[in-house]
């Protein structure tokens, strides 16, 4: 059974449609206009919203945008007797699932709802599959340091304190951030990720805080920022150490007051959103070097959780490999693949400088390339069998995070023909790799 909201200013249409949808076994609520619909949305979550386009006051397209902001998982279908191609295109771009042209038959409604629920089930299966891959990385560990990190995360999850997750690239900081959100009372709200390394300073400011029409070239309409879309939820600032200095000041004000102005606007916006930040850098060293604001560091470092690298979690490797292999087989529909003894030994002996992300990519590659029912050494990357080019695990453990990252980037670049190939090996995008190469002075 689904929870469906029907919005139409014509009483007969909404009553008839609500009655029919109930006969299909769903719970319905009807609203005569957008104002009533928004009140219903504030009081309850809906799986599907069927909304007329032409209504007094706020029209259906404006209501659609508001629904996408408040309940992004709700499927919205627009209804109108005045359909045009530009209007349909605008509706789809704004996030509508489909368009019903009046007059429509009840059979059309039933068929559309059936497609909607098939889509919802597919999304649910994708979430389950993603969780199957992510869960053992973070929620099961025999390593004392990882267990302490998880215990701290669960303890602070339901508070609103700012959390700083630190650790090397690929240790699962993004997955733990999602878990913190899921364990909190903000779980029904949105979880919004901002990658601080992937955009220029001007674009990142707009991405974070939004902009108004005419604020800069190409700003042809108002656009809310990621902070604004996270109302009632959580914002995850990934690699906050790469945040430009000017934006550090603006972010500090938001953390202290939960207020900001969109780019090009003097109107203050108030947002209730929790901040979780992550970094693979030594922020205290960056503070001493003047690259990161000290006051911002103390503001985001209310609760610090450090994730150990995979080479320090060797007791977790066997179960982690088996579970990830099962998940990858399901994702690529390869049935049940086994690991040959030599292949398993290579996976267990490798130092994993790219951490869990590198392990996931390695196993996915092996599942795709395996020719039989068993993964052999030929299905694994050559770097797993190059001990001369790899420092022993004990030596690696003594390196700083930045030195280890620099060496890993140098190795990936040396083994790749293009920047894009090296970025794929590292599990990051080419823009991020370009910035890291520039930061470390790697030619």
Cα–Cα distances (Å) from 303 to 48, 150, 250, 276, 300, in that order, read 38, 13, 21, 10, 8
Domain assignment present for 131: no
Determine the Cα–Cα distance for residues 65 and 229; give it in Å rounded to an integer: 11
In this structure, are 147 and 210 located in the same domain? yes
Question: So what's the pLDDT on residue 388?
Answer: 41
Tell me which of 284, 306, 328 is where a domain ends. Answer: 306
In this structure, are 233 and 174 located in the same domain? yes
Tell me which of 272, 306, 340 is where a domain ends. Answer: 306
Q: How many domains does the chain have?
A: 3
DSSP H stretches of helix in 71-172: 85-93, 106-139, 144-156
What number of CA atoms fall less than 13 Å from residue 140's CA on the CB side? 15
In sequence order, the 6+-apart residues with CB closer than 8 A to the CB of 308 are 143, 145, 146, 149, 167, 171
Q: Residue 296 is part of which domain span?
A: 140-306
DSSP string, 41-94: HHH---SEEEEESS-SSS-HHHHHHHHHHH-TTSEEEEEESS--HHHHHHHHHT
Under 8 Å between Cβ of 357 and 137: no
Domain at 112, CATH number = 3.40.50.2300
Question: So what's the pLDDT on residue 380?
Answer: 92
Question: So what's the pLDDT on residue 391?
Answer: 45
Question: So what's the pLDDT on residue 269?
Answer: 92
Domain assignment present for 126: no
* CA-angle at 265, arms to 260 and 270, nearest 5°: 30
In this structure, are 298 and 326 located in the same domain? no
In this structure, are 280 and 419 located in the same domain? no
In sequence order, the 6+-apart residues with CB closer than 8 A to the CB of 303 are 152, 156, 161, 162, 163, 164
Domain assignment present for 179: yes
DSSP string, 12-47: HHHHHHHHHHHHTT-EEEEESSHHHHHHHHHH---S
In this structure, are 318 and 436 located in the same domain? yes
Question: So what's the pLDDT on residue 406?
Answer: 78
Domain assignment present for 286: yes
What number of CA atoms fall less than 13 Å from residue 405's CA on the CB side? 23
Domain assignment present for 226: yes
Domain at 194, CATH number = 3.40.50.300
Tell me which of 88, 120, 152 is where a domain ends. Answer: 120
* CA-angle at 394, arms to 393 and 398, nearest 5°: 110
Q: Which of the residues in the chain have pLDDT under 50?
A: 136, 388-395
Does the model's pTM come out above 0.85?
no
- Name the 3-class secondary structure at 271: coil
Mean pLDDT taken over the chain: 85
Task: Output the six-digit token pair for 106.
Answer: 């009840």
Cα–Cα distances (Å) from 163 to 127, 234, 256, 384, in that order, read 24, 11, 14, 35
């Amino acid at each position: 059974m689904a929870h469906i909201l029907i919005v139409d200013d014509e009483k007969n249409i909404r009553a008839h449609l609500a009655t029919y949808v109930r006969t299909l076994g769903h719970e319905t609520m009807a609203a005569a206009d957008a104002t009533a619909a928004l009140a219903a949305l504030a009081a309850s979550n809906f799986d599907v919203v069927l909304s007329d386009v032409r209504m007094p006051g706020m029209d259906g397209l404006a209501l659609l945008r508001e629904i996408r902001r408040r309940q992004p998982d709700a499927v919205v279908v627009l209804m109108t007797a005045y359909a045009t191609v530009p209007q349909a295109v605008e509706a789809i771009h704004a996030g509508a699932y489909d368009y019903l042209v009046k007059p429509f038959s009840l059979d059309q409604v039933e068929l559309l709802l059936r497609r909607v629920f098939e889509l919802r089930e597919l999304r649910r299966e994708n979430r389950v599959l993603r969780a199957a891959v992510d869960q053992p990385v973070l929620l099961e560990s025999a390593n004392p340091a990882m267990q302490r990190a998880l215990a701290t995360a669960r303890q602070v999850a339901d508070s609103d304190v700012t959390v700083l997750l630190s650790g090397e690239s690929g240790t699962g900081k993004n997955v733990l951030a999602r878990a913190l959100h899921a364990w909190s009372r903000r779980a029904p709200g949105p979880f919004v990720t901002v990658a601080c390394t992937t955009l220029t300073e001007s674009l990142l400011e707009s991405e974070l805080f939004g902009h108004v029409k005419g604020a800069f070239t190409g700003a042809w309409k108002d656009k809310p920022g990621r902070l604004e879309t996270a109302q009632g939820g959580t914002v995850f600032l990934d690699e906050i150490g790469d945040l430009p200095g000017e934006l550090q000041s603006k972010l500090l004000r938001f953390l202290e007051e939960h207020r900001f102005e969109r780019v090009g606007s003097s109107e203050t916006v108030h947002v209730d959103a929790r901040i979780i930040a992550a970094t693979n850098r030594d922020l205290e060293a960056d503070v001493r070097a003047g690259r990161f604001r000290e006051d911002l560091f103390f503001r985001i470092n209310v609760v610090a959780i450090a994730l150990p690298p995979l080479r320090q979690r060797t007791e977790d490797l066997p179960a982690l490999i088996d579970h990830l292999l099962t998940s990858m087989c399901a994702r690529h529909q390869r049935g049940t693949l086994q690991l040959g003894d030599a292949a398993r030994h290579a996976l267990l002996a490798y130092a994993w400088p790219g951490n869990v992300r590198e392990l996931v990519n390695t196993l996915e590659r092996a599942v795709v390339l395996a020719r039989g029912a068993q993964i052999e050494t030929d299905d694994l990357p050559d770097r797993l069998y190059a001990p001369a080019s790899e420092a022993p695990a004990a030596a690696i453990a003594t390196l700083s995070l930045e030195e280890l990252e620099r060496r890993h980037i140098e190795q990936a670049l040396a083994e790749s023909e293009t920047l894009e190939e090296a970025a794929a090996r590292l599990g990051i995008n080419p823009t991020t790799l370009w910035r890291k190469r520039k930061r470390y002075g790697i030619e």
